[in-house]
Structure 1
Amino acid sequence: MPQSPEPQAAEPQAGAPGPSQAAAADRAAAHERAERMRPRALRMFPEGTGPSPDPAGSHFERRIRSFQPRRSRVTTGQGEALKKWWPTRGIDIDGQRVLDLDAMFGGLPVVLEIGFGMGEATAQMAADDPGTGILAVDVHTPGQGNLLGLAERNDLSNVRVANGDAIILLREMLAPDSLAGLRVYFPDPWPKARHHKRRLIQPEFLSLAATRLAPGAVLHCATDWEDYAEQMLEVLSAHPDFENTQADGGYTPRPGFRPLTRFEGQGLDKGHKVHDLMFRRVPHAS
């Protein structure tokens, strides 16, 4: 039997996009729709009245992050505190300006706290030491609202809350030698070995932090994960910009100014051992 002739491809009409062009146009349109919908889906507060869902946007490189945003319900009280105080006490980490800490804190020495949870310990430290400003950064919206509410109820004028990536804050928005201290309490331990690269306390982070800490300023870490404590001690001890405040080169007893938090208590109840590490920023080489 004679074979049927092969079907012929239809000639594209003049001016019509080819298959690859049409696919690219569809992808571009889908991306544009997603970008238009994204802010409406994520933003809890009108522009300028609360923390942004993505303050740095696409201005900076994508990289492995040490934190994972947690989405949970904001209570009425937390939402009211955010709406009332965010315009004057909240900072979106957009990486587009250098903060004037002297103006922000009235000339007080400023300590940066990375990761404050629900803010109870931060508020306690601020109340106990009104002569020190605390710039507290986190990505947890309920915690941000809770800390601002605690600051209002306890008349704490020495607290500011920053929202976003602490690396961008350190690198783009803080001046050299501008910090009197740095606190990293119970950072995400990323317990699985394949996730250890996500841990915050790494040599690269320490090199960046050292440029923003004034000589003599103390980096204070605490963790209830044994292997993370060992890693912290190893990388801090090996870093040329830091020296251990402990003469024996080991961990330090929990200082009285660091409150025992609910989270820490839960770890202790599980049999976890908490380790504090306090390392001093050594003077710059002359």
Structure 2
Amino acid sequence: MAQTVLIAGASGLIGTEVTTQLRKAGHEVLSLVRRPTTNASEFTWSPQAGILDYNLLDRADAVINLSGASLSKLPWTSSYKHEIHDSRVDATRTLAQAMHHAANAPATFLSGSAVGFYGDRPFDTLTEESAKGEGFLVDVVVDWEAEANKAPEATRVVTFRTGVVIGPGGAMKPLLALTKAFLGSRLGTGAQIWPWISLHDEAAAIVHLLTSDLDGPVNLAGPVAATSDRLTALTAKDLHRPYKLAVPEFAIRALLGDAGQEMLLSSQHVVPAKLVADGFEFRDDTVEKALGALLGS
């Protein structure tokens, strides 16, 4: 059944692919933008100021929230940490509050989240039932998801926890640029597990959740775990570049601080338990397939 879906963050890496897949499936997509509108499907809002025409929520069967400052913008200065936190919390709060003012709240609220919730857990297998970890991103995710869960009681809320999205932007953008420049490197020991997912499957999972009965946190990560070294080495191989350099952990921490520790050195074996149990089928079920789809190998 076709739905009208309101998306915050539709112009980003994930939002663009989600929009494409939704329209291909026959859904109508409305987009929230922070600039002047350019067509009838766009509507302005100001999440930082809490400004959103709540009447728009009456038109939407579902809301997808993908707003948030990029985690791959480095370094994480003190001011940028505030932006990472506030951009997510403010946008989610504004959407949830608008739903309460709507005459008919949307039936579904799919709100972005992150595997950063679990922190550095090298010895654990992490499902949606796992406890939160420790760290800056943990605190961000806790506050972020708390705002999503303030949506009206009648609205089904899903907070989808995403890992490294293998696509042409986001966390892969600097990795691809460095590898193309013959600077592909092992990061730390390389043994840390990175929870990855292809851009196609990230969007497909979100579209799946639109018509699913799942609620609460849902892990969006590929079903076959991969180490940092495996991902970076495969990237170099697919780009026909050497892979002989190594950056020690102390250098990563010294140069990038919390961003280096939490984005590059943390180990998280995240399992998409709820998604798989719900019948979702990954197109790219290994990191080799995900990189192959991205790089054409």
Same fold (TM > 0.5): no
Q: Between Structure 1 and Structure 2, which shows a larger proportion of strand residues?
A: 2
**TM-score normalised per structure 1:** 0.37
Which of the two has higher C-alpha Rg?
1
Higher RCO, 1 vs 2 (CA within 8 Å, ≥6 residues apart): 2
